[in-house]
Amino acid sequence: MKDKAEIENQFPAGTAQNGRLPARSTKKTSSPLTWYIFLIPSFLGILLFMIYPIFESLRLSFYQSNGTIEHFIGLENFKTVLTSGPFWNAVGNTFFIGIFQIVITIPLGFIFASLINSTPRGKNFFKVIYFLPNVTSIVAAAMIFAFVLHPEMGIVNYLLDIVGFPTPGWLSDPSTSKWAVILLAVWHWIGFVIIICLANLQAISPEMYEAARIDGASGLQQWLFITVPNMGGTFAFLLITGWIGALQRFNEVYVLGGPNGSPARSIQTMGAFIYERGFTGFEFGIASAATYIMFMIILVFTFINLKLSNMKI
């Protein structure tokens, strides 16, 4: 049945109708128009809230604009953004935080997922506990972390001090503030990584493990040679979604450092740069140009990630 439908879709009406019984064609009452009606809400949404803004943003990037007065200035905004120190600083911050978040969270999350998957007791309990940070809002989490990482009265430095480690200034010091954000990002994202890994761990066929056991492979060997290679697609998915999220980072750095990412712009991300230029400075043209550069970075980066991970969409 399905094949027939596909064939009919592929060939123009004339060719398909030759093979069709007259009885069937009278039964087919619905016109394509009905289907378009089903799609109206979504496509009105896509048109108004996706396609229009994308093009309007492109147009604005060639104008000097504060929302009411507009001047065409060509590529001037792009030049301004691309030669601006704060912009590249924001790009650097975004990538720095993103890289370490991903490099730390994916392997760590995978190890925890493997442990949870093979623990005889409390599997469900651990799933619930480890995933909890991910459902709580990042805004509230950032608020809590400002205290947890406080250099003098925070719990982290208190414990570090007890064990005899140096106590960094975390968010009060530009040289360590990015690490504070990374810590928060890892804490918030790890539950998601664990849940995705767990779902895919359970999809690996048990027969492979059985065969390996018969051949005398140890638990660690099975993990290294069966589990890890079978998780390729999962890691690729996490890498791509992780990067898309990381490149758009805004909420937590805004709560922790305001629109300019203090201290000393050390945690201002690309999103925060756009917000700062657009909504505290009302430089819509510059913000739009920055937005397009960011959009390109995301697209290029996603493409590279897709290639690297050999993923097919």
Residues 6+ apart with CB under 8 A from 207: none
Q: Considering only residues 118 through 157, tell me which ones interact with another protein, judged by CB under 8 A.
A: 118-122, 126-148, 150, 152-155
Q: Which is nearer to another protein, 27 or 307 (CB)?
A: 27
Q: Exactly one of 7, 48, 224, 304 binds another protein (CB under 8 A); which one?
A: 48
Which parts of 249-288 interact with another protein (CB under 8 A)? 250-251, 254-255, 258, 270-271, 274-275, 278-279, 284, 287-288
Contact status: 10 vs another protein (CB under 8 A): no
With residues binned 3-state (H G I as helix, E B as strand, rest as coil), the percentages for the chain, rounded to 5, are 75, 0, 25
Choice from 16, 204, 226, 244 touching another protein (CB under 8 A): 244
Which of positions 99-118 make contact with another protein (CB under 8 A)? 112, 115-116, 118
Residue found by looking up tokens 């509230």 in the block: 140
Under rule CB under 8 A, which residues in 192-211 are in contact with another protein?
192, 195-196, 198-200, 203
Total number of residues binding another protein (CB under 8 A)? 110
Rounded-to-integer distance, Cα 139 and Cα 167, Å:
25
Q: For the purposes of burial, counting CB atoms within 10 Å of the CB of 69, is it exposed (0-12), middle (13-18) or buried (19 or more)?
A: exposed
Overall residue count recorded for the chain in this entry: 313
Residues 62-81 that bind another protein (CB under 8 A): 67
Question: Binding of another protein at residue 224 (CB under 8 A)?
Answer: no
177-201 vs 232-247: helix crossing angle, rounded to 10: 150
Q: Which of 49, 8, 58 is nearest to 32 (CA)?
A: 8
**Choice from 17, 20, 49, 205 touching another protein (CB under 8 A):** 49
